[in-house]
Amino acid sequence: MKKISISIPCYNEEKNVISAYKSLKTVMNKTKKYDYELIFIDNGSTDNTRKLINNIAKKDKKVKCIFLSRNFGPESSGQAGMDYATGDAFIGIGCDLQDPPELILKFIKKWEEGYDIILGVYEKLEENIFMKYMRSAFYKIFNKISNIQIPKNAIGYGILDKKVIDSIKMLPEKYRFSRGLLAWVGFKKAFISYKRRERKRGKSSYSFFDYIKGAERGIFGFSYLPLDLMVYSGFLITILSFIFIISYLYWVFVFGNPINASIPLMLAIVFFGGINLLGISILGKYIQVIVEETKNRPVYIVESTVNVDKK
């Protein structure tokens, strides 16, 4: 009997843990021909989340608990779920159940058809106009400047074959963008549309700045175009500056110097200062990626586990 591993990252989800456990059990009990395991990843919660999933694991041996030593971020908890999964297929789902567990049955059916990666793509999400615009802009920019393509509104909820998980686990990088990695590894893909539900309990810990950091991971991890643009811009500005200098000197020698140079000089200083700062900032971001990789620190640290065989 094949096994399906389901990873449920948690951070301060005491109001959702029990309902998530019951919903996933109900769905998986319908798949009579598959064994399964539920892997709860506690990402340094400060409420009763840890206690609740620990109590669940003591009563149900199909439940594994991975307690991280602190909050390492969503990318790290997702990686921990993959590392501790022992199934023939892997599913990652949020504990808030905004992504319906019932969709798992459709994922499995597609997986049985021979697809290696099946991702859910939500049709629309109730959010403010600003966030909707920013989200849409990110996907458009990313798909144009990177050498891979990620579908809009595919946040990673889906099923992955074991060979996909093994391929991702071989990637040593620490500056991770999981949606980009899924596109990069290739394999046969399928997509299923669904309606994402509103969060019923608790409050999301994902802030606007977390979205910005995620976008940075995607752009600086999968594209060198920002660096190329700075090279091209520098080359163009140098040529234009040279033409301006020659033209200005010609004007001075032929017609004198009737122009008050203080204002153009000030504008030029501000303009070129901004260009330099932008270029240094972009270069600094790529250096940050290099530093993160060369530190060679682990993506996460496990404090303790429950129902997990020793590795």
> What tens digit of pLDDT does each residue of 150-184 get?
777 777 788 899 988 888 888 877 777 777 787 88
pLDDT the model gives residue 230 = 79
Question: What is the third-level CATH fold of 2-223+298-306?
Answer: Spore Coat Polysaccharide Biosynthesis Protein SpsA; Chain A (3.90.550)
Alpha carbon separation from 117 to 28, 39, 141, 200, 252 (Å, rounded): 19, 20, 24, 29, 67
Instruction: Give the separation between CA 83 and CA 43, rounded to whole angstroms.
Output: 15
Residues 86 and 165 sit within 8 Å (Cβ to Cβ)? no
pLDDT bracket for residue 195 (50, 70, 90):
confident
Query: CA–CA separation, 117 vs 105, rounded Å?
Result: 14
Q: Domain spans of the chain?
A: 2-223+298-306, 225-295
The pLDDT tens digits of the residues spanning 8-65 come to: 998 888 888 888 898 898 888 888 888 889 999 998 888 888 889 888 988 888 888 8
Q: How large a percentage of the chain has pLDDT more than 90?
A: 4
Q: Are 3 and 37 in contact (CB under 8 A)?
A: yes
pLDDT at 95: 83
Instruction: Report residue 300's pLDDT band, with 50, 70 and 90 as the boundaries.
Output: confident
Share of the chain above pLDDT 70, in %: 88
Residue 256 confidence (pLDDT) above 80: no
pLDDT at 125: 63
